[in-house]
Structure 1
Amino acid sequence: MPLKAVLFDMDGVIVDTEPLHRKAYFNMFDDLKIEVSEEIYTSFTGASTKKVCETLITEYQLEKNHEELALIKRRYFKEYFYNDADFQLLPGVKNLIQNYFENGIKLVLASSASMTTIDMVFDKFDLEKYFIAKISGADLKESKPHPEIFVLASELANERKENCMVIEDSTNGILAAHAAGIFCTAYKSEHSFGQNYEKATLVISDFSEVEFDKISTHF
């Protein structure tokens, strides 16, 4: 069965926004004059902005609602997003996207990020023209590791699951692809801490390893 579509995760695969979120949150903590330990901050990993803000309000008896806190955080995030020189596409991913595109592979983005953040990334790095569809997990009923996002992505590509491949970097994303019954390439990078790759079909550390000619032999 030939490869027809690649379903990309975004954070940790195309870009790494975690350093920007971290800077934005710690600026917000300074504004609120609260001390948030590394241990508490780490416990926020993977949580939505709303959930983090609600937790802060309870923990620190803050006299603001979660929308007000989220506005402060988002303002800082946007500033870093457009002005932080260190924020770039992950090494080799643009070449890989172009390589698939030139070989007629359909590309779908399937990310847990909000559509606002997805659109910001696509606009900043000029990715729109390569992808036939974008899905935000924020708009779905279920979150990774539930397979819903990848099942939907294969449907949007209008290809059978056997003709699709997922590229993921996180345990939850790999589990979601596995549960969907889709070939999953796990990208293990310097940004991947404590992730479990057991359920991945293939593990790579360089995107050149899955360029069209090389990955086609697996299908």
Structure 2
Amino acid sequence: MAEKAFIFDMDGVIYDSEPIHAKAKKQVLAECGISISDERLATFVGRSSRDFYGTMVEENPQCQLSWQELAQRKHALYKRLLAEDDSVQVMPGIKELLEHIRAVGYPIGLGSSSIMEMIELVLNRFDLKDYFSVLVSGNDLPKSKPDPLIFLTVAQRLAVSPEICTVVEDATAGVTAAKAAGMYCIGYENPNSGPQNLSKADIIVNSHYDIIKLVK
């Protein structure tokens, strides 16, 4: 069994996705007559489409679409925005960090609230998929972040115990899930992820290069 294993969130940790997510979510909700503030939107960072759109539909009975239909519309719009916006890049230092962890010999998994199609789209676009031995989408599970199931599932598929796992997260929901799973958590401060409470993380950094120094 490995001495350590690393589990990464994707959005806001692997690449700077939140500005595009926010734009797509707002546009889709506006088409349904729903307005949402940036502050409220930030509370759903790291959570699944089911959580977000389910809440929106429940709170706005004037919307005639189901949460699944809203999620499908947002997904299609997001894919288009991702393909058209060349400014979308991986976070500085993430490739170096993944390369360093792999060189040291620790297994790497990914636990994201995004749907699997989007996970694979992003990792393939940035040529990162080969770094990850396991990919888990919270959308495929009965519960996603802040529930710990997603990270426990990654650990199980990596064949490692939760207590040797280190999770890298940028969102309140993800940090909560990692600690509930009994894992060490590195809180990554991404200003574009909105006001996230990372205080439960074991350590907070604002650069992936800081994490490289921690991996021995």
TM range (shorter): 0.7 to 0.9
Encode CA deviations 1:77-128: one digit per residue, 9 max, x unaligned.
1111111122111111111111111221211001111111111111111111
CA displacement at 1:160 relative to structure 2? 2.7
Whether 1:80 aligns to 2:105 is no
Q: Distance in 1 between matches of 2:39 and 2:185?
A: 32
Once the two structures are superposed, the pairs formed by residues 122-137 of structure 1 within 5 Å of their partners are: 122-137=123-138
| Consecutive unaligned residues in structure 1, runs of 5 or more | none
**Contact 1:3–1:164 (8 Å) recurs in 2:** no
CA, structure 1 residues 2+201, in 2 after alignment: closer, same or farther (shift >3 Å)?
farther
Q: Where does 1:25-40 land on structure 2 (aligned, <5 Å)?
A: 25-28=25-28, 32=31, 34=33, 36=35, 38=37
Structure 1 residues 79, 195: CA separation in 2 closer, same or farther (over 3 Å shift)?
Answer: same
Aligned partner of 2:187 in structure 1 is: 186
**How far 1:176 sits from its partner (Å)?**
1.4
Determine the structure 2 residue equivalent to 1:215: 215
* 1:108 and 2:109 are equivalent in the alignment: yes
Is the 8 Å Cα contact of residues 122 and 128 (structure 1) preserved in structure 2? yes
> Partner of 1:150 in structure 2?
151
Q: Which amino acid aligns with 2:215?
A: I
The answer to whether the aligner puts 1:138 opposite 2:139 as a matched pair is: yes
The superposition leaves residues 121-178 of structure 1 with CA deviations (integer Å, 9 ceiling, x where unpaired) of 1111111111101001111122222221222222222223333211111122112111
Percent identity of paired positions between Structure 1 and Structure 2: 33
- Once the 2 structures are TM-superposed, how far is the Cα of residue 206 of structure 1 from its aligned partner? 1.0
Q: Is the CA contact (8 Å cut-off) linking 2:32 and 2:64 kept in structure 1? A: no
Task: Check the 8 A contact 2:94/2:208 in 1, yes or no.
Answer: yes
List alignment gaps of at least 5 residues for structure 2: none
Change (3 A) 1:200 1:78: same
Amino acid at match of 2:154: A
Q: Structure 1 counterpart of 2:156, which letter?
A: E
- Contact 2:42-2:195 within 8 A present in 1 as well: no
Report the CA distance between 1:64 and its aligned residue.
Answer: 5.1
In 1, Cα distance between equivalents of 2:157 and 2:27: 39
Quick one: distance in 2 between partners of 1:81 and 1:71?
15
CA-CA distance at 1:187 after TM superposition: 0.6
Q: Give the whole-Å Cα distance in 1 for the aligned partners of 2:112 and 2:163.
A: 20
Q: Kindly indicate whether the alpha-carbon contact (under 8 Å) linking 1:57 and 1:66 is maintained by their aligned counterparts in 2.
A: no
Bigger Rg, which one: 1
**2:7 aligned with 1:16, yes or no?**
no
Q: Which moved more, 1:20-29 or 1:9-18?
A: 20-29
Greater Cα shift, 129-138 or 67-76: 67-76
The alpha carbon displacement at 1:185 in A equals 0.8
Number of the residue aligned with 1:177: 178
When structure 1 is superposed on structure 2, of 188-197 and 136-145 the one drifting more is: 188-197
Residue equivalent to 2:41: 42
Greater shift, 195-204 or 38-47, is seen at: 38-47
Most deviating of 125-134 and 186-195: 186-195
CA distance in 2 between counterparts of 1:197 and 1:25 reads 24
